[in-house]
């Protein structure tokens, strides 16, 4: 099972490991070995790591060590399969999602909420933008998710991976146009999905959807508010609302 | 067409009718399958169950230059819009456009997206809108029948009167 950057993964993974002792040993020699080897090769470049025994592993490296990590993983540790490279904007959205958004609260009559504190998922992080990538060693059957903070927040930049993994080219172009993260050394950072004259970085949390600013979602106005369910006390299972997999990481 | 009769606007009515009937039953369709509506369009145009050829509609011309009708089915993005406009310009007159599905009509569920054009009619003129998300093949067939009725009752000279279509 692959869990990517979900903050509930660390708490959940040990439980699962305990439940499935046959399939998922509490000590994962393979993954612990890979992480130990990485720590040895990268030195201070490796900031944090997390191993879900028998399942998966995550590391966070400094942005300076981002390119070196790729080289190490591919050329030394044999992770020759490049799965993907992407980015996350961890900023709590000022526009909210659905009920949190001001334009929507007007319609719903709810009160605007305070933005949640910033969280950065597995292996943590300080910056607003993080790049993440996943590579795998298909011979030894392990995969690893690598994260790095892209700093500074107003002009995030990290080194390119294209010299190590040629396939990272388009992924970096997409991350660049969607999040505005500059990949230093990329041969031609230009738009890949968006029209070439597009301005702004649409997957940033503070990218406004102008249509929504002008006119709230028209579909909601002719819908009656959902009736509130009056259930007897104690009948509702408390886990239903806070199911670890139900919510979004933010 | 019609040895200048159509252009002059002096064509006798029965001849116009005859011409319109023949135009109505030989619509060559140029397809823009841009999203899930294309599945329904394929069912309507290419599958034996709905058999659009019985209406005289011929799918799959080799190029827009051989087409009379263009069906835009699916989500038009700002990046795709110039290509649609350009290929529509290449179609010979008289040409017709059917916009199929909510996305092509008005942006549909992606009305607030940063990348989706809010209706293909912002780029090209549309003759028939087929609503639905996606519309069933029958709905597309009804749109085609509607267009055929319109062609039947059309005065072809109208298409040649006035200023020629100027491309923005």
Average pLDDT value over all residues in chain A: 77
Quote the minimal CA–CA distance from B34 to chain A in Å. 15
DSSP states of B99-160: EEHHHHHH-GGGTT-SSB-S-GGGTS--SEEE-SSSPPHHHHHHHHHHHHHHHHT--HHHHH
Q: Do A194 and B113 touch (CB under 8 A)?
A: no
Sign of the Cα torsion B4, B9, B15, B21 reads: positive
Among residues B35, B31, B36, B32, the alpha carbon closest in space to that of B60 is found at B31
Q: B45 — phi, psi (to 5°)?
A: -90, -35
CB nearest to B79's CB, from A195, A202, A209: A195
pLDDT value of residue A218 = 61
pLDDT value of residue A12 = 45
Q: Do B114 and A212 touch (CB under 8 A)?
A: no
CA dist., res. B166 & res. B125, Å (int): 12
CB nearest to B115's CB, from A194, A212, A217: A194
Q: Do A209 and B114 touch (CB under 8 A)?
A: yes
Q: Do B112 and A202 touch (CB under 8 A)?
A: no
**How many of the other CB atoms lie within 10 Å of CB of A89?**
23
CA dist., res. A85 & res. A145, Å (int): 10
> What number of residues does chain A have?
250
A213 Rama class: left (phi>0) / alpha (psi -120 to 50) / beta: alpha
Lowest mean pLDDT among A66-70, A126-130, B145-149: A126-130
Q: Closest-CA residue in chain B for A193?
A: B79
- What is the Cβ-side half-sphere exposure of residue A242, based on CA atoms within 13 angstroms? 4
CB nearest to A211's CB, from B78, B79, B112: B112
Which tens digits make up the pLDDT trace of A72-97?
Answer: 999 999 999 999 999 998 887 665 55
Mutate to test the interface with B, among A177, A179, A194 (most CBs of B within 10 A): A194
Strand order of the sheet with strand A142-150?
A46-52, A56-61, A142-150, A129-137, A81-89
Q: A150 — phi, psi (to 5°)?
A: -105, 110
B132 Rama class: left (phi>0) / alpha (psi -120 to 50) / beta: left
Does the predicted interface ipTM exceed a cut of 0.95?
A: no
pLDDT value of residue A112 = 55
Quote the minimal CA–CA distance from B112 to chain A in Å. 5
Among residues B71, B60, A20, the alpha carbon closest in space to that of A12 is found at A20
Does residue A45 register a pLDDT over 50? yes
Which tens digits make up the pLDDT trace of B33-90?
Answer: 898 999 999 898 888 898 888 888 888 888 889 998 999 999 999 999 999 999 998 9
Quote the minimal CA–CA distance from B64 to chain A in Å. 24
How large a percentage of chain B has pLDDT more than 70? Answer: 88
Which tens digits make up the pLDDT trace of A147-206?
Answer: 999 988 889 999 999 999 999 999 999 999 999 999 999 998 999 999 888 888 998 888
Which tens digits make up the pLDDT trace of A6-30?
Answer: 444 444 444 444 444 455 557 888 8
pLDDT value of residue B164 = 53
* pLDDT-based confidence at residue A136 (cuts at 50, 70, 90): very high
Q: Which residues of A touch B75 (CB under 8 A)?
A: none
CA dist., res. B56 & res. A71, Å (int): 61
Q: For chain B, what percentages of helix, strand and coil (3-state, to nearest 5) are there?
A: 45, 15, 40
pLDDT value of residue A103 = 53
Among residues A133, A142, A126, the alpha carbon closest in space to that of A54 is found at A142
Mutate to test the interface with B, among A101, A211, A220 (most CBs of B within 10 A): A211
Q: Which residues of A touch B111 (CB under 8 A)?
A: 211
* pLDDT-based confidence at residue B162 (cuts at 50, 70, 90): low
Q: Closest-CA residue in chain A for B82?
A: A195
pLDDT value of residue A24 = 53
């Amino acid at each position: 099972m692959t869990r990517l950057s979900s903050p509930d993964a660390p708490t959940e993974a040990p439980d699962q490991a305990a439940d499935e002792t046959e399939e998922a040993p509490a000590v994962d020699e393979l993954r612990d070995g890979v992480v130990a080897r990485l720590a040895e090769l990268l030195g201070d470049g490796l900031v944090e790591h997390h191993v879900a025994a028998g399942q998966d592993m995550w590391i966070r490296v400094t942005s300076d060590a981002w390119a070196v990590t790729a080289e190490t993983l591919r050329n030394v540790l044999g992770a020759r399969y490049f799965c993907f490279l992407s980015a996350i904007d961890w900023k709590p959205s000022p526009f909210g999602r659905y009920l949190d958004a001001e334009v929507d609260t007007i319609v719903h009559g709810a009160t605007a909420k305070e933005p949640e504190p910033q969280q950065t998922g597995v292996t943590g992080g300080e910056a607003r933008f993080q790049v993440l990538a996943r590579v795998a060693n298909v011979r030894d059957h392990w995969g690893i998710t690598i994260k790095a903070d892209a700093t500074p927040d107003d002009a995030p930049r990290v080194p390119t991976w294209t010299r190590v993994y040629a396939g990272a080219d388009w992924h970096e172009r997409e991350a660049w146009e969607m999040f505005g993260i500059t990949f230093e050394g990329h041969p031609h950072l230009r738009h890949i999905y968006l029209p070439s004259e597009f301005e702004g970085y649409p997957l940033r949390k503070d990218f406004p959807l102008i249509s929504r600013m002008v006119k709230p979602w028209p579909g909601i106005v002719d819908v009656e508010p959902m009736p509130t369910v009056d259930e007897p006390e104690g009948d509702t299972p408390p886990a239903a609302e806070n199911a670890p997999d139900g919510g979004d990481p933010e | 067409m019609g040895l200048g009769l159509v252009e002059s606007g002096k064509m006798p009515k029965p001849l116009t009718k005859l011409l319109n009937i023949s135009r109505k039953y030989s619509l060559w369709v140029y397809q823009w399958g841009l999203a899930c509506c294309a599945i329904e369009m394929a069912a309507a145009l290419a599958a034996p169950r709905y058999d659009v050829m019985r209406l005289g509609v011929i799918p799959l011309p080799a190029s827009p230059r051989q087409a009379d009708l263009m069906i835009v089915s699916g989500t038009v993005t700002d990046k795709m819009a110039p290509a649609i406009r350009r290929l529509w310009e290449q179609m010979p007159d008289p040409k017709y456009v059917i916009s199929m599905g909510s996305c092509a009509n008005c942006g549909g569920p992606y009305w607030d997206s940063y990348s989706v054009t809010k209706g293909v009619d912002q780029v090209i003129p549309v003759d028939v809108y087929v609503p639905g998300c996606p519309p069933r093949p029958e709905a597309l067939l009804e749109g085609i029948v509607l267009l055929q009725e319109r062609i039947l009752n059309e005065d072809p000279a109208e298409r040649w009167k006035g200023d020629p279509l100027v491309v923005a």
